[in-house]
Structure 1
């Protein structure tokens, strides 16, 4: 019974290329999360402002949206391996820039904002290519297992990265986190280098257009609703830009406490992914997505009531992270199964914009509300708004609740 509950490792056993990509992304994810904590701590230390810390998300949001959409279109026209290499090299260079500014003691928020914007551009440019590779490396029946393993990789980084980052920052300064991140990208670069050329399969002579992906979503409400549900969770229910202020003002801690708060949702998400063997037995994917997003919002709202009770707050953040993993697995599977191959790069580009851009917009939203009211007011109101959006989506799109993975309709 336990064997059927844990994550399926078949994709790692059957494909050496997928195994290298998975390992490389896991290592790089740890480094990137260390950098995220270091940037937040540096900005808050320099400004003492939750609004300025939240603006970090806004700085990466614009390049994420612009380059994510065009990155998806580019991924449908060029060698995806080469595009992945370029993006990973650019991310490594941005981390090296952050390390340089910390070592030189520049103390300029503008430099931090600029480096984050560069990171967002390279991440969005290469991520659709990397995501579009997976269905070419694995058979269709292994894709749900691969999605679960991808959440393990991501949340391993979000668990280990913030805690290690907080420890290193406290001992050796922000530059140590940035340097580790720079070196960590060698794993992804090696994985991309070992791949064969991977040009997209051609189904016609028409050039790939960014607008084609947007039109596809406009005409196919089930996939569109899955995107909107994730946006509701990330914009209104992700208070990570408030963690430095919450750690200092309400939990009596500093860099190490910030790392714990950032890592807590990832701990829950990692547990959810490790015990994801049951997801293949669920067929009502739309209902599962909305239920998971509602659970996320309720857990975040409850977290807002835990002022001064750090371990209770961490437990509620972990519950929220577990719910997010469930939502992510089903959303990814819906996208891969219901979307046609010829649209994969462009839809993955939009998906990256939603997944990566939503939290950045959420950083700005939560920081703004906290500046107008209080950090905990921002957390509670965000969780409640997330649940309200879920109820609205359920009322407007009842067909989404009936979506069945055995007969997928986009």
Structure 2
């Protein structure tokens, strides 16, 4: 098996074991979704309560995924993952026991589903963030593909299995299967020996970590582009997922079995895409691959909304599965390799927020259009817009094809002696002397330095030129506390940051003169 093979990450024992355990868990999750919705009907739940089953799953993720990402960066990610999986096991196990004893009520069902949503929110960012710890950097694209296949095939198999389990032994059987699947994930995590984190200053406060994650996202144009491309794709791509049941029942005239066949076709297309995408990425690059895959998914969406042929619909779903996994796995892999270890989980939490938020908003919008106008319009319009936006984005919002080195690196000299770690705000000034012929290039280089300062902790940054001495520049930036500045020195610098700063230094006459000033007024 070569390093470029789609299955190359499966050579890594930890990745392979976790992938298999997660596959069973994904199947169990989708089987339980069917069981919970069916049970709510058996309990006499209203249409609103049936709909709230899905809301109880997603709402905790919306509310908690960002602070959960911060926890994944300031605590041991393996322990955060185990905590999330244990919450989901507890929810599924309680549902199994209570339902078997006929004491589950609609409110109890919703409460336990929400508990599992909390566990999912805790797990999602850390699961994404550990992928570079499981496979080498060059295998991250294949790992993202395999994880996408895992989810899509689980989505195809789980509902069918859930229906079979309900028919054989009742809804409690789906909860039992899901409970066992979480045990498998916990066992794999328990045996995994994760390398220790590099935190010379100890763990950050969770609120500080949340703020630093948001600041990093704002100050990283390359990562922000990934987020924008993600939300634009899923906002329009969600039409197919939201309306596929209506298509199966309406124009295609299918029953539950036919709908399962359509979902299975999506999963089969995702598997086929996993074989095809690595080769296309090597030959065409990620921007061309995403554009082609987006247009293919758009075509599949339009065909799915227009055709009354079951054969053509199945072929369209095959194409949709390949396009969906090609776009999202490429975006996900790009996000992972752009992020340094110190902020990976909290930044990826924003990726998950964009992914789920785009799907939720899109589903509401296209569902409303289907009700107001027509099912066909609700499929063709987003398909056309997706294709147009894909062509626009490849020109105006291209993803970087460069391999950025985000490994830890010393960006500064030895950290200065200073006050107590909580003192602040802190103003750092650097005096740069630059020859007149290098001034334009220096100002341009310093814009990249400014983004580096903000990514690693600065809340404000500026560059000023002395009116009396045009060769003298003053760089200023502000940090909330002295400890934040120490983290810039000791924990947050990367090889990219070092290269950016060195480029500015090469244009200056000498190293800058640095001063550190502590807020002298009353406590802020």
Query: Is the Cα contact below 8 Å between 2:84 and 2:123 reproduced in 1?
Result: yes
Q: Which moved more, 1:85-94 or 1:375-384?
A: 375-384
Structure 2 vs 1, CA of residues 38 and 379 (structure 1 numbering), >3 Å: closer, same or farther? farther
Kindly indicate whether residue 146 of structure 2 is the aligned counterpart of residue 149 of structure 1: yes
The separation in 1 between residues aligned to 2:303 and 2:405, in whole angstroms, is 35
- Label 1:127 to 1:263 Cα distance change in 2 as closer, same or farther (>3 A): same
Match of 2:347 in 1: 347
* Residue equivalent to 1:81: 78
Larger radius of gyration, structure 1 or 2?
2
TM-score, normalised by the number of residues in structure 1: 0.83
Could you tell me whether the CA contact under 8 Å between 1:37 and 1:165 is conserved in 2? yes
Match of 2:257 in 1: 256
Q: Which residue pairs with 1:268 in the alignment?
A: 269
Corresponding residue SS for 2:74: coil
Corresponding position of 1:220: 220
Instruction: Report the CA distance shift for 1:255/1:100 in structure 2 as closer, same or farther (over 3 A).
Output: farther
1:2-401 matches, cutoff 5 A: 7-13=5-11, 15-39=12-36, 57-99=54-96, 104=102, 108=106, 113-170=110-167, 172-196=169-193, 199-202=196-199, 207=204, 209-238=209-238, 239-282=240-283, 284-307=285-308, 309-394=309-394, 396-397=396-397, 400=398
Cα distance in 1 for residues equivalent to 2:242 and 2:233: 15
Mapped partners of 1:40, 1:75: distance in 2: 31
For residues 213-252 of structure 1, the C-alpha deviation after alignment (integer angstroms, 9 at most, x for no partner) is 3332323333222222222332322233434444344444
Q: Deviations over 1:158-188 (max 9, x none)?
A: 2322332344445554443333222222211
CA distance in 1, matches of 2:41, 2:99: 14
Equivalent pair of 2:210/2:346 in contact (CA under 8 Å)? yes
Mapped to 1, the partners of 2:82 and 2:261 lie a distance apart of 32
Q: Distance in 2 between matches of 1:257 and 1:107?
A: 32
For residues 375 and 164 of structure 1, do their structure 2 counterparts lie closer, same or farther at Cα, with a shift above 3 Å needed?
farther
| Distance in 1 separating the partners of 2:211 and 2:250 | 46
Gaps of 5+ in 1: none
The SS at the match of 1:214 is helix
Q: Higher helix proportion, which one? A: 1
* CA-based RMSD: 3.4
Count of residue pairs the alignment pairs up:
401
Shift of 1:24: 0.9
CA apart distance, 1:282: 4.0
Structure possessing the higher relative contact order (Cα contacts under 8 Å, 6 or more residues apart): 1
Q: Distance in 1 between matches of 2:353 and 2:249?
A: 31
TM-score, normalised by the number of residues in structure 2: 0.67
Bigger shift: residues 260-269 or 184-193: 260-269
Q: 1:56 touches 1:360 (CA, 8 Å); kept in 2?
A: no
Offset of residue 125 of structure 1: 0.9
User: In the alignment, what sits opposite 2:510?
Assistant: none
For 1:349 and 1:67, the matched residues in 2 are separated by 9
More strand by share: 2
1:407/1:261 Cα in 2 relative to 1: closer, same or farther (>3 Å)?
same
Distance 1:79 1:73 in 2: 11
Q: Specify the SS of the correspondent of 1:317.
A: helix
Matched-pair contact (CA < 8 Å) for 2:53–2:113: yes
Secondary structure of the residue aligned to 2:401 is: coil
